[in-house]
Amino acid sequence: MGGPSVAAFRRKREVVVAMTKVLIACDHGGLELKVQLVGDLASWGHEVLDLGVHSSESVNYPDLALKLCRSLVAGEGELGVLVCGTGIGMSIAANKVSGVRAALVGDCYSARMAREHNNANVVCLGGRVLGPDRAGAVLKAFMEARFEGGRHQRRLDIIASVEAEA
Ligand code: RB5
């Protein structure tokens, strides 16, 4: 008696999750999955800014990774999603941008850890690796997790100090 109902808790949690502005981009290898994920993110209540590409014409994945990451560190979004064939090239390029912590993930546990422990602000997914259901579940796990801080912040500070040196 007196405490919030389960339904009220769920409603509150949905409101928190709905606050996120998400940037998303892909190359030709990630286009099909990106189209799906734009819909998934919107259906979960997020604000989505799609930075391209919008056709299957061959492009260079670093151009898209850098475009998204520069927008992200400029404050145009809170989280980023990058999709290429494997997610590997996007993650390598994304982590060259100071302030970006990009995680290449293919399972829900790693997706959750990427935020809880690593405070990842960009998730990279492989459009030729993950099926649509797995990719949606992985992204959902990433979106719903929260950074735990504490000892994990200390470790991120070490990484940030290397960025500062550069
Ligand atoms: C493009 O063919 C492919 O190399 C790219 O999508 C990505 O997988 C690179 O890491």
pLDDT recorded at residue 166: 84
What fold does the segment set 17-165 form as a domain?
Ribose 5-phosphate Isomerase B; Chain: A, (3.40.1400)
**d(C-alpha 82, C-alpha 8), whole Å:** 33
pLDDT recorded at residue 22: 98
Determine phi and psi for 120, rounding to 5 degrees: -60, 135
- The verdict on whether 54 is a catalytic residue reads no
With a Cβ cut-off of 6 Å, ligand 1 is lined by: 27, 29, 61, 84-86, 88-89
pLDDT single digits (tens) 10-57? 554 544 455 899 999 999 999 999 999 999 999 999 999 999 999 999
**d(C-alpha 157, C-alpha 68), whole Å:** 23
Dist. CA 162 → ligand 1 center (Å) = 28
HEC per residue, the chain:
CCCCCHHHHHHHHHHHHCCCEEEEEECHHHHHHHHHHHHHHHHCCCEEEECCCCCCCCCCHHHHHHHHHHHHHCCCCCEEEEEECCCHHHHHHHCCCCCCCEEECCCHHHHHHHHHCCCCCEEEEECCCCCHHHHHHHHHHHHHCCCCCCHHHHHHHHHHHHHHHC
pLDDT single digits (tens) 58-75? 999 999 999 999 999 999
**d(C-alpha 89, C-alpha 83), whole Å:** 9
- Cβ-in-10-Å burial (0-12, 13-18, 19+) of 137 comes to middle
- The verdict on whether 108 is a catalytic residue reads no
Does 123 have pLDDT greater than 60? yes
State the catalytic residue, choosing from 26, 28, 69, 84: 84
Dist. CA 29 → ligand 1 center (Å) = 6
Please confirm whether the linkage preceding 53 is cis (ω < 30° from 0).
Answer: yes
Other Cβ atoms less than 10 A from the Cβ of 52: the count is 16
Task: Work out the mean pLDDT of the chain and round it to a whole number.
Answer: 92
The domain segmentation of the chain, as residue ranges, is 17-165
Dist. CA 154 → ligand 1 center (Å) = 33
Give the number of the atom of ligand 1 that is nearest the alpha carbon of residue 29: 6
